[in-house]
Structure 1
């Protein structure tokens, strides 16, 4: 039972070291011409970022960017460090969750969403001995999300608000705490939380290791089938300076999405291999299979879903001002 928890704790620690001490590939950030130089792609070693792993494994970036271009890769433990790297030119493009992209755009960062990456993957589970059988049992219980107002938090609180259930933060009875998903298993086992809002593969781990019960599945939670779980981003400056290079990056990304759709089992093998190479640990095939069922991979991006998500964040009082993301998304490269 402890094996999966130990693995993901090591994964988080190791990827944090990768992002912090520069042991991953160094950044190029050239972007001066359509060909030549170095292009650095950023991503996280998790299942929502499989398109980057596949493109890396299949050499799609190299193929699209040309023989004179060197492609390097840098992994990140969280959206904040990824966005810092993008803003400083340490990476040229990459996959990140929509939340960090939206939040940084709202505070004036030069970031554009240029394609979708994946959808789904947010699951709400109840502790096996919690006595919870449905969302109607949630009032008065304690739930955990990665952060206040994060993508997964907004999704579950939107879902519950529509049922007339709210957290103590906005006058309800549900107690909300936050923590890294690597802590969820221990918190279930000690009874500190009743409900976990878990991104994949954490939900699959909780099911396998603790017998947790799925209460709200990835296709049932608010925005579950429309909101991107990861998006491909670049800076507005890079788009203006070198649209040809951005188009090549997006074309490689599109080829990866198509590969995943046509070759799911091989894509799973690539995922397990890439995560092992980055973290020196190995995901079980069972966990990957279970998580895969709740995630979709696409280069399309739903602008309306992103705006609706932002509006809900405002209505739930996570944002002080109602945002307008009409200029955040640039779809010219996926047409």
Structure 2
């Protein structure tokens, strides 16, 4: 079913970009191997930053494995790297992972990273204080059809408001979340589908208004904001190493929940290293309250989100995600 869908949905590969095929780490080799972990400089990817800072992957993989890290600007780029074997696994938004699966890319979700963290905010002076004021405005998301885009448009469609893409009045533009603040300041957009910590940044820096909180936006507290994915090749040919990666990831999630104050400091540093933006701790603490760190993932929610992506015309066919979520490694 997955390969058949790929024949006529491959054009959607870039549509669900965010808001490896080959395996260089052969099991049992006595030579030094390299495993590359991918992630984004976002709050929802804090487990990767904590695991990196605490050398958790290195500890679990052992001394014969060299661990490298690669960051990405969006989910489509991440999934291309996974398909090409440039990374062995890591954290990405559920949207691009879903798109790759239905386009025929061999990838599986083997755990979650967090839920929550998507906030819909409006520009101060836009006169947009609730969803009822959004019609006819310009909104921004990281990519067309990304996780945050789908969450926002699902919420609005349920209330009778849609984007120009589907015959409605909302104008949609895209841009990196780190640029949202300047776009608000310049008056380029009215509404932002903001992944944390960028929503809290804009609340603090440009008096952005919360239009739809995390608790209310569609799939806000159930959909994984980030998922841990790897390739079919890794699962089929190196399952022991996949288990090791998930064990390290689970340790990072547990560490975050047990040591939130230190985890916040690590995440601030991790984001600054990539974006050159030093976030205030008070801002990160606000964002942290909207995020739940967990490695558990619900396959039914993934399917519901995919159905909504189809309803919003981001997908040409209703997806079938049977076999996409593999919970073997987190049990």
Matches within 5 A, 1:207-246: 207-246=203-242
- CA offset at residue 304 of structure 1? 0.9
TM-score when normalising by structure 2: 0.88
The CA deviation at 1:211 is 0.4
Q: 1:40 to 1:190 in 2, by over 3 A?
A: closer
Which one of 57, 62, 72 corresponds to residue 61 of structure 1? Answer: 57
Superposed displacement of residue 95, structure 1: 0.9
TM-score by length of 1: 0.87
**Structure 1 residues 73-112: aligned runs within 5 Å:** 73-112=69-108
Distance 1:95 1:44, change over 3 A: same
**Residue equivalent to 2:27:** 33
After TM superposition, the structure 1 = structure 2 runs for residues 47-58 of structure 1, keeping only pairs within 5 Å, are 47-58=43-54
Does the residue aligned with 2:99 lie in a helix, a strand or coil? helix
Which residue of 255, 259, 263 maps to 1:263? 259
Q: Distance in 2 between matches of 1:184 and 1:275?
A: 16
* CA deviation profile, 1:176-207 (whole Å, cap 9, x unmatched): 23233233223322333221111112211211
Taking a change above 3 Å as real, the CA distance of residues 157 and 265 of structure 1, as seen in their structure-2 partners, is same
Q: What's the secondary structure of 2:120's corresponding residue?
A: strand
Q: CA deviation at 1:156?
A: 0.7
307, 310, 317: which is aligned to 1:314?
A: 310
State the distance in 2 between where 1:280 and 1:125 align.
23
197, 200, 204: which one aligns with 1:201 = 197
Structure 2 stretches lacking a partner, 5+ long:
1-21
Measured against aligned partners, the alpha-carbon deviations of 1:107-151 in whole angstroms (never above 9, x if no partner) come to 111111111011111111112112222111222222222222111
1:228 deviation in Å?
1.0
Q: Distance in 1 between matches of 2:26 and 2:301?
A: 34
C-alpha distance in structure 2 between counterparts of 1:137 and 1:276, whole Å: 34
Mapped to 1, the partners of 2:253 and 2:320 lie a distance apart of 28
Match of 1:324 in 2: 320
Structure 2 counterpart of 1:13: none
Further displaced range: 163-172 or 234-243: 163-172
- 1:139 is matched with 135
- Unaligned runs of 5+ residues in structure 1 are 1-27
Q: CA deviation at 1:35?
A: 6.6
Aligned residues: 308
Quote the offset at 1:171 in angstroms.
2.5
Shift of 1:99: 1.3
Q: What are the Cα deviations for residues 213-238 of structure 1, in whole angstroms up to 9, with x where unaligned?
A: 10101121000111111111111011
On the 8 A contact 1:123/1:221 being kept in 2, the answer is yes
How far apart in 1 are the matches of 2:240 and 2:154? 39
